[in-house]
Amino acid sequence: MVDNGEFISFVIYSDVPQDFLLEVFNCATFDDLVSSGIESLDDTNTNELNVRLLNIINQLRAENHGLVQPIKFLFLE
């Protein structure tokens, strides 16, 4: 994740482990994730990894004086 103050970039590479995709995005493959049109993480997903990522995002936003920057997903081959 990269926070430039305007938005938070969440970079996901095509070789991301399938377990990560399933736990965080409920997608079986990278291509499924790309075609899903995802715009944010699911805050109802109580999986430990997802909760950790949400906590990081919330911390970044808190350090930016509570400004809620949108998340920009970048998918790289």
For the stretch 14-54, pLDDT in tens is 999 999 999 999 999 999 999 999 999 999 999 999 999 99
Q: Please give the CATH topology (third level) of the domain spanning 2-76.
A: Severin (3.40.20)
pLDDT at 67: 76
pLDDT grade for 65, boundaries at 50, 70 and 90:
confident
Distance, first Cα to last Cα, the chain: 17
Is residue 56 within 8 Å of 48, Cβ to Cβ? no
